[in-house]
């Protein structure tokens, strides 16, 4: 029978062995500094101490200087370097952990204790490896996003607002040039995030260029052609055809679009974001598909190819990337305006249905798909600010004005009316933020009291489409149309 002294020695050896492993896991190099190679221990302590200090600095930066810190982390070179450093630190950590296990002299322990010590070491290594993998994948996604956010836009507020040009294009093979199918401008209050969305039809004619535009000298009376083929969606190609008139560091097509749209609306544009409908199939698949209320059969195919099937109507229809692409792209058996509405439905569903869990589990796939989907001149230093405004905007009703018949005649638009309407709708939106909140009515037995999810002042906001009371697919906000309401012939979708 072992003596008490022997038992104490054995217990001390067991505590020492587990202490070595746990101490090495928490403070890499600490065990080596007093029980192994002291030089290795000191070097490891300095390396991991420096890494911990940098983590603290980044954390403080995210608290005090979020914009610049996020911009730095989204820089592709920085994100790629951090990803490599993380794996190097993990490899060194594992080697130090295994060395601590060796220094714990596991062969001198009992079989069960030795197995428990080894299992503890492996669990720690696998756990830290999992954390490192998640962090490295996060920086992989940051690198992908950083490649998209190349900057170049105007970062200065315009009368307290940010004005963003949103273009939806179909870059399918066989299409000549790049012609936007969906042209909108989001004017966002820089403090509250309240947004007003202005939509312009792609067939708008006689658009004008500002005095500072090099195209003004070529089209003093607006972009006109005898055959009426000079439309707004052709301005991108026009800019590319006259690339020699623009600076080498700008995209002449996008710059020409920004000039024409800004002059038409009377707004100075800060940024653009261009979504390629031909490149979003992978993104929709990465987010698990989208759901739409579909009001009529949508053909897949048509034009130069035969129709090989239909997306059937129904409520809460699930569409994978392939079917979502056809839903947005299909031209057969429909009008141009209907197609534009379907594209808005798809983009709205993608924005509203991308849940946090999908982002957390599929962020690398989402970022990779986004590289083929989106181009923008928003920089890494501004993305956090705009993202915060977007989150505020989700809580508010977005006013929308679409400049299409009967409000305007695309072939002969009233530009004065367009500009006046833009000023009026922005003024109305700003008045909602300036108005004091009215006190909530006292609860009664016949009607429930207002809740925080339905602010008292929001329901009184006038619908954004009041200027165009007649049915017009371009003027209907597809993402707000209730599924139970009657759908006009050209309105084909809404968000569940």
Fold of 161-212+261-432+461-494: Aminopeptidase (3.40.630)
Beta strands 290-294 and 493-494: pairing type? antiparallel
Q: In 3D, which of 408, 394, 403 has the Cα closest to residue 480?
A: 394
Contacts of 358 (CB under 8 A, 6+ apart): 286, 287, 288, 366
Tell me what pLDDT residue 473 has.
34
Tell me if the pTM is above 0.85. Answer: no
Give the per-residue pLDDT at 479.
34
Q: Answer yes or no: are the C-beta atoms of 490 and 338 closer than 8 Å.
A: yes
The answer for residues whose C-beta is within 8 angstroms of residue 248's C-beta and 6 or more apart is none
Q: What is the pLDDT of residue 2?
A: 57
* Confidence at residue 30, expressed as pLDDT on a 0 to 100 scale: 93
Sign of CA dihedral 479, 484, 486, 490: positive
Count of Cβ atoms closer than 10 Å to residue 157 Cβ: 14
pLDDT of residue 482: 32
**Strands lying side by side in the sheet with 314-319:** 314-319, 290-294, 493-494
Which residues 6+ apart lie within 8 Å of 49 measured at CB?
A: none
Q: Domain-by-domain residue ranges, the chain?
A: 9-148, 161-212+261-432+461-494
| Nearest alpha-carbon partner for 402 in 425, 386, 382, 381 | 425
The 3-class SS string of the chain reads CCCHHHHHHHHHHHHHHHHHHHHHHHCCCHHHHHHCCHHHHHHHHHHHHHHHHHHHHHHHHHHHCHHHHHHHHCCHHHHHHHHHHHHHHHHHHHHHHHHHHHHCCHHHCCHHHHHHHHHHHHHHHHHHHHHHHHHHHHHHHHHHHHHHEECCCCCCCCCCEEEEEEEEECCCCCCCCCCEEEEEEEEEECCCCCEEEEEECCCCECCCCCCCCCCCCCCCCCCCCCCCCCEHHHHHHHHHHCHHHCCCCCCHHHHHHHHHHHHHHCCCCCEEEEEEHHHCHHHHHHCCCEEEEECCCEEEEECCEEEEEEECCEEEEEECHHHHHHHHHCCCCCCHHHHHHHHHHHHHHHHHHCCHHHHHHHHHHHHHHHHHHEEECCECCCHHHHHHHHHHHHCCCCEEEECCCCCCCCCCCCHHHHHHHHHHHHHHHHHHHHCCCCCCCCCCCCCCCCCCCCCCCHHHCCCCCCCCCCCCHHHCCCCCCCCCCCCCCCCCEECC
Is the Cα dihedral 28, 31, 33, 38 positive or negative? negative
Mean pLDDT by 10 residues, the chain (496 residues): 73 90 93 91 94 94 86 88 95 95 88 92 94 89 80 88 86 57 87 88 92 93 88 92 90 92 95 76 80 89 79 90 85 74 74 59 55 75 81 73 84 94 93 65 40 36 34 34 34 77
What is the predicted pLDDT for the residue at 394?
65
**CA 349, CA 496: separation in Å to the nearest integer?**
9
Give the pLDDT of residue 420.
95
Matching residue, tokens 């080697």: 95
């Amino acid at each position: 029978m072992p003596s008490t002294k022997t038992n104490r020695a054995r217990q001390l050896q067991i505590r020492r062995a587990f202490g070595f492993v746990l101490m090495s896991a928490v403070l890499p190099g600490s065990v080596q500094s007093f029980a192994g190679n002291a030089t290795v221990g000191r070097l490891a302590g300095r390396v991991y101490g420096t890494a911990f200090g940098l983590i603290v600095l980044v954390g403080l930066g995210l608290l005090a200087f979020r914009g610049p810190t996020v911009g730095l982390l989204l820089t592709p070179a920085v994100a790629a370097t951090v990803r490599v450093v993380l794996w190097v630190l993990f490899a060194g950590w594992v080697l130090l952990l295994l060395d601590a296990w060796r220094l714990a002299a596991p062969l001198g322990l009992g079989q069960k204790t030795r197995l428990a010590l080894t299992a503890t070491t492996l669990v720690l290594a696998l756990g830290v490896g999992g954390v490192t993998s998640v962090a490295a994948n996060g920086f992989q996604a940051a690198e992908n996003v950083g490649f998209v956010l190349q900057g170049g836009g105007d970062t200065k507020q315009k009368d307290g607002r940010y004005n963003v040009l949103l273009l939806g294009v179909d870059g399918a093979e066989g299409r000549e040039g790049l012609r936007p199918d969906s042209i909108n401008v989001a004017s966002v209050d820089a403090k509250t995030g309240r947004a007003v969305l202005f939509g312009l039809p792609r067939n708008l004619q006689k658009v004008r260029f500002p005095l500072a535009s090099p195209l003004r000298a070529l089209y003093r009376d607006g972009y006109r052609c005898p055959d009426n083929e000079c439309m707004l969606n052709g301005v991108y190609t026009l800019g590319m055809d006259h690339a020699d008139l623009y600076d080498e560091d700008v995209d002449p097509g996008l710059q020409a679009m920004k000039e024409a749209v800004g002059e038409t609306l009377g707004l100075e544009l800060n940024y653009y974001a261009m979504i390629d409908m031909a490149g979003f199939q992978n993104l929709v698949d990465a987010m698990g598909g989208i759901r739409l209320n579909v009001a009529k059969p949508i053909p897949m195919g048509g034009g130069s190819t035969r129709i090989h099937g239909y997306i059937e109507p129904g409520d809460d229809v699930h569409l994978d990337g392939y079917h979502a692409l056809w839903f947005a792209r299909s031209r057969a058996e429909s009008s141009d305006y209907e197609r534009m509405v379907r594209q808005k439905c798809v983009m709205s569903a993608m924005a509203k249905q991308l849940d946090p869990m999908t982002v957390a589990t599929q962020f690398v796939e989402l970022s990779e798909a986004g590289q083929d989907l989106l181009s923008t001149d928003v920089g890494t230093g501004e993305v956090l600010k705009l993202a915060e405004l977007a989150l505020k905007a989700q809580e508010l009703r977005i006013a929308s004005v679409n400049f299409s018949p009967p409000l305007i005649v695309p072939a002969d638009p009233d530009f004065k009316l367009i500009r006046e309407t833009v000023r009026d709708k922005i003024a109305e939106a700003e008045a909602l933020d300036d108005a004091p909140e009215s006190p909530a009515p006292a609860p009664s037995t016949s009607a429930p009291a207002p809740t925080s999810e339905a602010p008292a002042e929001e329901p009184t906001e006038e619908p954004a489409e009041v200027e165009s009371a007649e049915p017009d697919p371009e003027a209907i906000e597809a993402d707000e149309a209730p599924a139970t309401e009657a759908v006009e012939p050209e309105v084909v979708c809404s968000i569940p």
